[in-house]
Each structure stands twice: as structure tokens, then as C-alpha cells.
Structure 1
Amino acid sequence: MSGPLEGRRVVLGVTGGIAAYKAIDVCRRLVDAGAHVVPIMTEAAQHFVGTTTLGALASEPVQTELWRNPTTPIPHTVVGQGADLILVAPATAKLLSAYRTGFSHDLLTNTLLATRAPVVVCPAMHTEMWEHPSVVDNVAVLRERGVHVVDPESGRLAGGDVGAGRLADPSVIVAEVERVLGPGDLDGTTVVVTAGGTREPIDAVRVIANRSSGKQGYAVAAEAAARGAHVVLVSTVELAAPVGVEVVAVETAEEMRDAVTQRRATSDVVVMAAAVADFRPVAAAGGKIKKDDGVPEIVLEATPDILRGLGEDKPDGQVLVGFAAETDDLRANALAKLTRKNLDLIVANDVGAPHVGFSHDTNAVTLLRPDADPVEIDLASKREIARAVINTIVEIRAASRTGEL
């Protein structure tokens, strides 16, 4: 279940802008994701960040010049040919111009010209520079040539100015690298994912809820997006949105049903990772119920069974995935739900086991399908679990297309 960066050779080019300090975080994230990071710094970059700092976090010492390299007389060719991807963060106006025109005046620009690997550039500069016609033209030409451009954000800039031009967040940059190096096996698909626990109002301040944190659903959404899907995340929680994912905020089971139903006809995959409440009060009080009035009688009714409804009206070719959080008879209960709700895959987990399920950053699951043997996934991060789920979805879609189901 290795990720797209595991063992991949990523050249990280750092140019001379104030945002160079963020390259340290980018480097750390790349290494944490399993990449072998080869750092190159321009002369100007060294005015902002020391080579010792970047080299301590990267996989190799920082390279800075074409000359006096003790290992090879042609470092740009060796580095460029050996790269799986070249990332430039930040990319100054000077770098963009030189790359566009083929002006190879230093190690980084020579390396960019001496590679056939994909290239990701992350511009960062003051607003006036970012909006200058020459920079706009350079970026447009690079895009046309297939260079991946991570646009800068709007926000606070050097000198106290505010506007467009701030380097994209390191998480966004690394997500783009993962997408470019990923398998792309969900390109062109639309995936709807639900996450979190629904909340059913008792009165103006109290709800019936559950312990779901939404972390597993968010991990599934992030993994699907990294594999090329357009992802709609229907969520009841306020976690940071995965990069490139559209988030639809809901609270109750009925709101979640409506949001999913509106999108199911155009969705290739629906993953119901949310913990939907089974019951809700028949009538919620308009204000706060006062304790002095005595213990209230709360009459419950069933909430809509979203998953059953999706299974009963499933479009041809759509993959429908459910989750089963159980405390006993895990496999039997999950298999019954798989059949009863017409699912293509169910992800079952024992939420009573240590470090599994609600609120944890780890999970352990059993993947059950109508047409295949169960697959046990031992305790792993929720992103690794998400990767296993998406891998299985890709298998199901491939088998469906070849008529093997």
C-alpha cells in the first residue's frame, strides 16, 4: 500500500524569493511521504535559506552550481535524467522567464532543460509581478508545454502588502506532486464521499450524535483526488478540506441524503463512509428544553436509510461502497449489510479494538465484496486504509469494464 512518492526521486529546486523558507516544509513533507529528495538551490536562494538547513532535511546534500562537482562534470544531465519529477518552489519571475526561453544560466535551469521528467513549478512573487503581462505570458506558454503550475495564493506578502502572489501552502504543493506521480487511475471520474457523524436535533442546543470524527472519509476523499477523480465530500465535520476536493456541509441524515441524492446520477463511485444516525426525535423543540421542567420524553423515529436507497436505485456501472462499524460478529454483520443494501464493497471495522475506528488516526478493516475473498488490512494509517479502499474500487471498475463481474 505504498503511496505515489515512495521511492520516487524528486528534484527540489529553490529560487531566490522570500518564500524560499517554505521550501523547508515542502522538503520535509516529501521525505515523510517516502520520496528521495535531491535539492538544488540557486545563488539567490542562499540569501534566504542556508544550504545546511535544506541539506539536513533532504536526502542528499544541496547542489548549487554547475562547476566543481566532485562526482560528475555534468551534474545537470545526471540529475535531470535521474529525476522522476522536478519541483521548483518557489519559482521566481526570473526562473519562469529563463525556463520559458531556454536560458540555461545556472544548475537549476540547466537541469530543467536536461530532463524528460514531469515538472511542477510554484510561482511566488509580489502581485504586480505576478500580474505583469510578461509573467502571465510565460506561465501560459509553460502550461501549453505541459508544465504543471501550482498557482500562488492571495494573502499577506513581504513588506506588509496583501494580494495574489503568495506561495501555495506546502500541503497543496505536495498534493500536486502526488497527483502528477500518482497512477491517475481515477482520471475523468466523479466520486462522492460522505464523512463524519450526522447530528439530529433534540432542541436548539442538544443533538443525538455519534463518535465519528470523519477522518476516514476525509482520507478516502484525499486519496481519490490524488488519483485524478473529481471528488465531492459531503461532510458533517469541520476538518481541513483535502486539496482539490469540493466540500458540501450538512448536519442531519436528511440533509446528507438530499446532498448525495442530487449527485448520485452523475457519480461513478459513491463511498458512504459517514456514520449516519439510525434514529432522530420525531419533533425537535424550538428552544432549549429547561431542566426545571423535568425529564423530557423524547419520541424517536427512523432516519432515512441512505445506503439502502442508493443500492435500490444504483445506475449501471456505478460502484457503491458502504462502511460497517461493528463491536461484535464483524464479518457476519458486514456481509449481511453488503447483500441487503446491494453494495459492491463494504469496509468493516471493529470499533472496539485498540486504535481502530472513531477519532483515531489509524484503522484496521476487512474489505468484503460479493465476488471475492475477504481482504484483511492490519492496523495502518487511515490514508493507507483509504489507499486500499480506492485500489479495490479501481479493481471493481476494471473488472466491470471487461465483463468479469
Structure 2
Amino acid sequence: MSAPQQSRPDFDFGDMTPAPETALPAQVRKGRGAISNRPGRYEPGDRPAEDDGWPRSEEEEALPPLRTVVGLDTSKTIISRNDSPDIPFDQSINPYRGCEHGCIYCFARPTHAYLGHSPGLDFETKLYHKPNAAKLLEKELRRPSYRPSLIALGANTDPYQPIERRYRLTRSILQVLSDFNHPVGITTKSANVLRDIDLLTNMARRRLVHVAISVTSLNADIARQLEPRASAPHRRLAAIKQLAAAGIPVSVSVAPIIPALTDHEIEAIIEAAVKNGARGVNWTLLRLPLEIKDLFKEWLEAHVPDRADHVLSLVKDCHGGQIYSSQWGSRMKGSGPYAEMIRQRVEQAAKRHGIGARDWRLDLSRFAVPQAIPAQPDLFSMIGESDSR
């Protein structure tokens, strides 16, 4: 994916109080995915915390939970564009930067390095919201030069991560898209998408929306470790069921498939999703670009040390012996015997249950710019005009 066609925004940190970087021991934090706060690739280098040799008390051993802080993103545009041949859309919107779900494998983690933050714990604790997202979107859609093309929500960070409950940016974006009859594809691993089921149902009647619910594992313990603040697997399946019952096209995203950890669940995930109303499936293999490879290695060593080497060995088998390859066409699904086996298993399971790949085709013909609501006249100016007469 190419870089978004927008200038780097200025950031207002508000009341964000960064924790000292050297005070974060490399150990599991309750409710967080990353083990450490490794500096981003633009920072000068590691700044490891040092042990002074003194024994620590039980209180010191039990690290307190990290607080989530949210700053302002004052970007001047909202639609990001790409020319990647690997994805079926060329426009996306991300109302938030960083993601509190804390998925350790998240390919968006390296983007936090652009902000001077760590792709590790910072990515899931130092978040940004775009308060003018809906206004910026309406402005872009009203441009005479704009041509409708499906917009993806959830292509980078999750539009229904926990802070959406407070800021409601995703809902405000959906409202604008609905007003313009503009199609949108949503990907989320949160059952909180159901908060907007009224809007989504209305848009579905006009063939303007498709939702994909991401299910990485049906094992609650594995899911909690991989995606500590995302909805539990059974809640995601329940969300698929409710969306389908409301007439909203919904698919399951089996992503990422992690070798030797979640790959044995492919068929079970697809079967469970179809039973709950999923109409399609898409999938990707685990990707470990840039800082993610070291963060994921730490996670493996902390949670499944007995399988760490095997997992990484299979990942390398899918990328020509490297931990990651950015080659178009294979970076998301891999290549080689193991990757081919995964592809066949997904396709056969989908065929067995009578579904195909996720269908991104929505109705572009309905797009129309609504009449702008005239500004309310100023009461005092009206009084002045009356007096002048």
C-alpha cells in the first residue's frame, strides 16, 4: 500500500502523559499485547531498563496496568488512497491512529514510528482521534472532482476499538456516507459494530455496505493473548449472526492465519461463521514486517516458548526463507508448499459450506451529493437589518 496522499499532520498531545520509556520491563502486561516498548525505526536505538541488583517487592514485580491516553490528530484530509494490487479497494478511512485492541501481529504497528512512538506498547496505549473526521469527509465528497469508489473502514486500525464508545467517529463517518449514498466496506474484530446496526441496516437496503468480522481463533485463551482488548470469539460470532439477521451482508475474515498456532482452526472458524450467517470469507497469512517481527518473537517467547521456533520456521517457509517479503502478490498470502496448503484448505472449506470469497461489489451508481443545508441566519444581524429599515 502506498503512503496516504496527505501531509503529515500536526498533533496536539492534550493531556497525554508519556511514561518513561526505560521503565517498561520486557514482561507481559495485563490487558496488553506487546511485551516491550521497543523504539521505532526512526529512533536512535534501544534504551533498555537496567537492573540495579536490589531485590524487588511483590508490588514492584506486579506491574500496574498501563493507562490509555488519547491525543488529537489534526489532519487536514481524511481519505487515504493506495495503488496496491493486493487489496480490492483504493480508498480507506482511519478515524483513529493506534489501536487499543493490542493485537500483537497488527501490521499497522510500524506506522506509530512516524509519530515518534514505539510500535510496541505505545501503539496500544497512546492513541489519536480525528475529531473533524465527518466534516473532512463531507468536504472531500462535495468536491466536483471526486469520483465515487468504495471506501474501506478498518483497513489499518479498527474503527470499533474501545474508544469509539466515547468519540463515535465511525458512526459520524457512516452517517455522512449514508447521506451521500456512498458504499463502504467495514472490517472489524469488535462486536461493538452492532451499536450502528440501525445505520448499517438502512445502508444495506441500498447495497451500500458490507461487513467482515475478523476471527483469528475460536480458543478464548489464545484470542485473549493475541488480541487482549478485542471482543471474545463467541461475541464476534454472535455479531455475525445479528448482522446477518438484519439483512446486512457479512463475511468472516480468517486473518491472520498463524502457522503452528491457529492454522488448525481454519475449517472450524469458517464452519462456525457460516452457521451464524456469514456469506463469504477472506484470509491472510501472518505478516511480520519492520518492527513487528521482534515484537512477535517476544510474544512467542512469553506465551508459547515451546512453539516459538516452529512458528517462525513455517513463517520463513512462506517467504522464501525470510521472516518477511514485501513482494506484490505474495506478501499477504505467502508462497511455497505450506502457503499453498493453507490456500487450498480455505477454498475447500468455503466450497463445502457454499460460500466464496468476500464480495466487495457494492452499488456506486447511487452516489449523489446532497443539497447543502443553508447556514442559520444570525439573530443579531437580522435585528440590525430590521432596525436599518
TM-score by length of 1: 0.27
Bigger relative CO (Cα 8 Å, ≥ 6 apart):
2
TM-score by length of 2: 0.28
More strand by share: 1
